[in-house]
Amino acid sequence: MSTDLTTAWRGVAAEDAEVVTAPMSAMLRGRSQRLLRSLLARHGKALLAAGALIVGFDVASMIGPLLVERAIDSGLPAIQHHHDYLPLLLTAAGLALAGAFQAASDFGFTLVTGRIGQAVLLDLRQRVFEHFQFLSISFHERYTSGRVISRLTSDVDAISDLLMDGLQVLAWASLTILTVAGILVWQDPVLAGVVFCASPFAVVLTRWFRRESVRAYRATREAVALVIVHFVESLGGIRAVQSFRREPRNQEIFEALDESYRSANQWSIRLVAVFGPGVKALGNASLAAVLLVGAVRAEHGRITVGVLAAFILYLRRFLDPILDLSQFYTLFQSAAAALEKLSGVLEEVPSVPEPAGPVPAPIPAPAVLAVPVRGEITFTGVDFGYRDRLILEGLDLYIPAGQTVAVVGETGAGKSTVARLMARFYDPTAGTVALDGVDLRRMGRDELRRHVVMVTQESFLFSRSVGENIAFGRPEATQAEIEAAARAVGAHGFISRMPEGYDTPVGKRGGRLSAGQRQLVSFARAFLADPEVLILDEATASLDIPSERLIQRALLTLLAERTAVIIAHRLTTVEIADRVLIVEDGRVVEDGSPAELLERPSRYRQLYQAWADSLV
Ligand SMILES: Nc1ncnc2c1ncn2[C@@H]1O[C@H](COP(=O)(O)OP(=O)(O)OP(=O)(O)O)[C@@H](O)[C@H]1O
Ligand SMILES: [Mg+2]
């Protein structure tokens, strides 16, 4: 692959390849620790039980070689010299018992840790999903869906691996190494010294492996992130890809990225290929040394043959855990990176936070029992910018309840921005946006969303039936209500002609419907939700003229009872408005009824003229 390609892709995917910047130290940072602690907090007792079981398992498995030693040193001589089978039978029974105990504690341990692990993962996935749902739109704009997916899949998997296998390995291996070392010293310090001679080599080998595998791990994560980003982007935009015959180039890029992923993996494999056999060779060398030194010592009567046999058996148990511990290290490393990223997301605060003490809208006036929300919108000195550049500056706007306002202006003028602030997808940087005099920031989320609904051109449909999509904001709606809403917006006709009527699945993102039909469905959805304030952001853009007229008739009746803000490029939609706002560069430059604005030389009149001319 040419280097420029790699660099370019690195740029595109820098955000997704976040692993590049994720900490790779063996330590858990503060927030990762907090997350792990809070996940494990409810499982204190189960963790203790698991600890007890692993100790039981370890003791039972350590007894084996000692019993073998017994059998060789006392069992066999008793048979040879006295025809006494009892000592050997007793040690055999001991072995069987230890084996049974070992199996039982293994069984218990696997069950208990499995239960803890699954409960923790369930909890984690739910927390992450819930948190993602409540994070503000501005978060989702920068956090790509690829990253969301890896949070819920590969990151959770990494933690799962750590909990299900890693901790087990860690507990068992470190316990085993310690006990075996203890037993060896106790049995014969000199021979134990021979075994420990291998330790410096083992330490050097392990450190090398750890250092290299951190680098290899980083490289594979980086490579796979690039592969995924390219995969998701190319297939997500498959229409554009095919329209512009981009397939060969995309294939080329993919192959190059995939190749670097392969070679990164190959690097990891090489490391394992060196490390595993290296440890084994070291083990065999110490085995030979133990055999030699042990034989000499047995010859001199310093140890028994049984002790030598036990040593040889223990030696293996000393080396396996060392191998397992480095495997644990790999697991821990990925889990630590995953924990870091997950805890980062979970500590992300919504940029439009829920108020501590939400004020209900409407504010019940004293002496009046209940005032329905009227739907009066006030912008007072509103400044707003997505990043550093201010889009709106000192915007003042008053929309009385029940008014239908059309917002017109050039592309990029800031119409949608005004609409998004009304629906509180963002908060202003200065000034306030209020509904019925209550600052939106002081209103509870549920309350606000019940009163203010925004329909956009996107009109996102979910892969369920038409009926369910209409009832999206009011799942409890009856079939009759759903149909009434569909009739109101003129969608009933085409829906009832569909194969299964309201039960027809709409396909992925509503792909089985035309763009106009999707808009009608999302209209019906909004009308069924029946908000006091309805914002339509180019929601009629995909409709043909007859449907648009149909909608307009529906709009007239349905908007009569509520405050409505319609953003439209087509002036047909604007005609039904009580008031027109012309927005330029984030400022309202004209404000008046359509008739008023047409009377005098205005921007609106120019626009209207141009539009009228285009019709003839
Ligand atoms: N999510 C965003 N992040 C950063 N900048 C944005 C974002 N959305 C809009 N902008 C910028 O804010 C300005 C106003 O955009 P806005 O979407 O409000 O325009 P608009 O009037 O709705 O245009 P259109 O008619 O094309 O929909 C534009 O300059 C745009 O580049
Ligand atoms: Mg817009």
Atom of ligand 1 nearest to the CA of 569: 25
Rounded-to-integer distance, Cα 441 and Cα 418, Å: 16
Atom of ligand 1 nearest to the CA of 419: 18
For 65-89, what is each residue's pLDDT tens digit?
A: 888 888 888 888 888 898 889 889 9
- Residue 76 · residue 88 · CB < 8 Å: yes
| Ligand 1 pocket mutation, candidates 382, 417, 454, criterion most atoms within 8 A of CB | 417
Atom of ligand 1 nearest to the CA of 386: 4
- Across 537-541, average pLDDT: 76
Rounded-to-integer distance, Cα 596 and Cα 121, Å: 63
231 residue type, one letter: F
Supply the residue whose CA is at minimum distance from atom 5 of ligand 1: 386
298 residue type, one letter: A
572 CA distance to ligand 1 middle (Å): 23
Residue 605: the pLDDT is: 87
Atom of ligand 1 nearest to the CA of 413: 21
- Residue 149 · residue 35 · CB < 8 Å: no
Residue 373: the pLDDT is: 60
pTM comes to 0.76
- Across 397-408, average pLDDT: 92
430 forms beta bridges with: 383
CATH of domain 377-615: 3.40.50.300
Cβ < 6 Å from ligand 1: which residues? 141, 386, 391, 409, 411-417
- Residue 351 · residue 426 · CB < 8 Å: yes
Residue burial 295-324, b: 16+ Cβ < 10 Å; e: rest? eebbeeeebbebbbbbbeebbebbbbbbbb
Q: Does domain 27-346 have CATH number 3.30.70.20?
A: no
Residue 558: the pLDDT is: 67
510 CA distance to ligand 1 middle (Å): 25
Residue 557: the pLDDT is: 66
Ligand nearest to the backbone CA of 418: 1
* % of the chain residues with pLDDT over 90: 32
245 CA distance to ligand 2 middle (Å): 30
433 CA distance to ligand 1 middle (Å): 19
Atom of ligand 1 nearest to the CA of 387: 4
Q: Where are the domains of the chain?
A: 27-346, 377-615
Residue 368: the pLDDT is: 40
Identify the weakest region by mean pLDDT among 151-165, 316-330, 349-363. Answer: 349-363
User: Both tokens of residue 219?
Assistant: 């490289």
For 356-371, what is each residue's pLDDT tens digit?
A: 777 765 544 433 434 4
Residue 100: the pLDDT is: 95
Rounded-to-integer distance, Cα 166 and Cα 152, Å: 20
Residue 440: the pLDDT is: 92
Residue 360: the pLDDT is: 66
321 CA distance to ligand 1 middle (Å): 59
242 residue type, one letter: Q
Supply the residue whose CA is at minimum distance from atom 28 of ligand 1: 412
pLDDT higher than threshold 80 for residue 160:
yes
- Across 243-271, average pLDDT: 93
Average confidence score pLDDT of the chain: 85
Supply the residue whose CA is at minimum distance from atom 18 of ligand 1: 414
For 445-479, what is each residue's pLDDT tens digit?
A: 888 888 999 988 777 889 889 999 999 988 999 99
Fold agreement between 27-346 and 377-615: no
Torsion 533-538-541-546 (CA) sign: positive
- Across 270-288, average pLDDT: 89
C-alpha torsion angle, residues 588, 592, 598, 600 (rounded to 10): -80
- pLDDT band (50, 70, 90) for residue 279: confident
Angle in degrees, CA 84, 88, 91, rounded to 5: 145
| Ligand 1 pocket mutation, candidates 416, 420, 574, 587, criterion most atoms within 8 A of CB | 416
- Across 185-205, average pLDDT: 88
Residue 111: the pLDDT is: 92
* % of the chain residues with pLDDT over 70: 90
548 CA distance to ligand 1 middle (Å): 25
- pLDDT band (50, 70, 90) for residue 189: very high
Contacts (Cβ under 8 Å, ≥6 apart) of 99: 60, 64
- Across 42-54, average pLDDT: 91
Supply the residue whose CA is at minimum distance from atom 22 of ligand 1: 416
Instruction: Please spell the DSSP secondary structure of 580-613, one letter per residue.
Output: EEEEETTEEEEEE-HHHHHHSS-HHHHHHHHHHH
